[in-house]
Structure 1
Amino acid sequence: MNTKTLMIQGTTSDAGKSAIVAGLCRLLARHGVRVAPFKPQNMALNSAVTVDGGEIGRAQAVQAQAAFLEPHTDMNPVLLKPNTDIGAQVIIHGRVLANMDARCYHDYKPTAMRAVLESYQRLCAAYDVVLVEGAGSPAEINLRDKDIANMGFAEAVDCPVWLVSDIDRGGVFAHLYGTLALLSPSEQARITGLIINRFRGDVNLLTPGLDWLTGETGKPVLGVLPYLQGLHLEAEDSLPRESGVVKDVERLRVAAPVLARMSNHTDFDPLRLHPQVEVCWVRPGELIPSVDLIILPGSKSTRGDLQRLREQGWDAAIHRHLRYGGKLIGICGGFQMLGRWIHDPAGLEGEPGSSPGLGLLDFETTLEPEKQLRRVDGRLMLSDALITGYEIHVGVSTGPALAKPVVQLSDGRWDGAVSDDGQIFGTYLHGLFDAASARDALLHWAGLAVRETPDYRQQREDGINRLADAIEAHLNLSSLEMWLT
Structure 2
Amino acid sequence: MFQGTGSDVGKSLIVAGLARAFANRGLKVRPFKPQNMSNNAAVTADGGEIGRAQALQARAARVAPSVHMNPVLLKPQSETGAQIVVQGRVHATARAAEYQSIKPTLMPAVLESFARLAHEADLVLVEGAGSASEINLRTADIANMGFARAANVPVVLIGDIERGGVIASLVGTHAVLPADDAAMIRGFLVNRFRGDPALFAAGMEEIARRTGWTSLGLIPFFAGAHRLPAEDALGLDGARPAKPGAKLRIAVPILPRISNFDDLDPLDAEPSVEIIRVKPGSPLPGDAQLVILPGSKSTIPDLAALRANGWDIDLAAHVRRGGHVLGLCGGYQMLGRSIADPDGIEGPAGAVPGLGLLDVETVLSGEKRLAAVTGETTDGIVFVGYEMHMGVTEGPGRARPFCRIGGAPEGAVSPDGRIIGTYAHGLFADDRQRAAWLQRLGAGPAQVAYEDGVEATLDALAAHLEAHIDLDHLLELATPISV
Matched, 1:234 2:229: yes
Q: What CA distance in whole angstroms lies between the structure 2 residues aligned with 1:243 and 1:364?
A: 37
Match for residue 344 of structure 1?
Answer: 341
SS at match of 1:236: coil
1:422 to 407, 414, 417: 417
Q: 1:255 to 1:374 in 2, by over 3 A?
A: same
Match for residue 123 of structure 2?
Answer: 129
One-letter amino acid of the structure 1 residue matched with residue 393 of structure 2: S
Q: 1:483 to 1:215 in 2, by over 3 A?
A: closer
TM norm structure 1: 0.96
Instruction: Extract unaligned runs of 5+ from structure 2.
Output: none
Matches within 5 A, 1:340-379: 340-379=337-376
One-letter amino acid of the structure 2 residue matched with residue 337 of structure 1: M
Match for residue 292 of structure 1?
Answer: 289
Match for residue 15 of structure 1?
Answer: 9
Match for residue 25 of structure 2?
Answer: 31
2:474 to 449, 459, 480: 480
User: How far 1:247 moved relative to its partner?
Assistant: 2.5
Match for residue 4 of structure 1?
Answer: none
Q: What CA distance in whole angstroms lies between the structure 2 residues aligned with 1:267 and 1:243?
A: 18
Q: What CA distance in whole angstroms lies between the structure 2 residues aligned with 1:276 and 1:91?
A: 38
Match for residue 391 of structure 1?
Answer: 387
SS at match of 2:118: helix
2:377 to 370, 373, 380: 380
SS at match of 1:433: helix
Report % sequence identity.
51
Per-residue CA deviations over 1:73-112 (Å, capped at 9, x if unaligned) read: 0000000000011110000110001111112211111111
Matches within 5 A, 1:49-448: 49-231=43-225, 232-238=227-233, 239-240=235-236, 242-290=238-286, 291-381=288-378, 383-409=379-405, 411-448=406-443
Q: 1:243 to 1:206 in 2, by over 3 A?
A: closer
| Conserved 8 A contact 1:245-1:275 | no
| Conserved 8 A contact 2:361-2:395 | yes
Q: What CA distance in whole angstroms lies between the structure 1 residues aligned with 2:466 and 2:450?
A: 24
One-letter amino acid of the structure 2 residue matched with residue 268 of structure 1: L
One-letter amino acid of the structure 2 residue matched with residue 441 of structure 1: A
| Conserved 8 A contact 1:363-1:400 | yes
| Conserved 8 A contact 1:245-1:274 | no
Instruction: Extract unaligned runs of 5+ from structure 1.
Output: 1-6
Q: What CA distance in whole angstroms lies between the structure 2 residues aligned with 1:188 and 1:76?
A: 24
User: How far 1:187 moved relative to its partner?
Assistant: 1.4
User: How far 1:193 moved relative to its partner?
Assistant: 0.9
Q: What CA distance in whole angstroms lies between the structure 2 residues aligned with 1:387 and 1:193?
A: 45
Aligned residues: 476
Match for residue 36 of structure 2?
Answer: 42
Per-residue CA deviations over 1:179-231 (Å, capped at 9, x if unaligned) read: 11111111111111110001111111111111111111111211111112242
Q: What CA distance in whole angstroms lies between the structure 1 residues aligned with 2:446 and 2:359?
A: 35
| Conserved 8 A contact 2:43-2:386 | yes
SS at match of 1:268: helix
1:470 to 445, 459, 464: 464
TM norm structure 2: 0.97
Q: 1:361 to 1:241 in 2, by over 3 A?
A: closer
Q: What CA distance in whole angstroms lies between the structure 1 residues aligned with 2:285 and 2:224?
A: 25
Q: What CA distance in whole angstroms lies between the structure 1 residues aligned with 2:389 and 2:411?
A: 13
Q: What CA distance in whole angstroms lies between the structure 2 residues aligned with 1:254 and 1:244?
A: 14
| Conserved 8 A contact 2:216-2:470 | yes
One-letter amino acid of the structure 2 residue matched with residue 426 of structure 1: G
Q: What CA distance in whole angstroms lies between the structure 1 residues aligned with 2:108 and 2:71?
A: 10
Q: What CA distance in whole angstroms lies between the structure 1 residues aligned with 2:448 and 2:381?
A: 16
SS at match of 1:441: helix
CA RMSD of aligned residues (A): 1.2
One-letter amino acid of the structure 1 residue matched with residue 306 of structure 2: L
User: How far 1:240 moved relative to its partner?
Assistant: 4.0
Q: What CA distance in whole angstroms lies between the structure 1 residues aligned with 2:382 and 2:473?
A: 46
Per-residue CA deviations over 1:211-256 (Å, capped at 9, x if unaligned) read: 1111111112111111122422211122345454442324200010
Q: What CA distance in whole angstroms lies between the structure 2 residues aligned with 1:186 and 1:414?
A: 58
User: How far 1:141 moved relative to its partner?
Assistant: 2.3
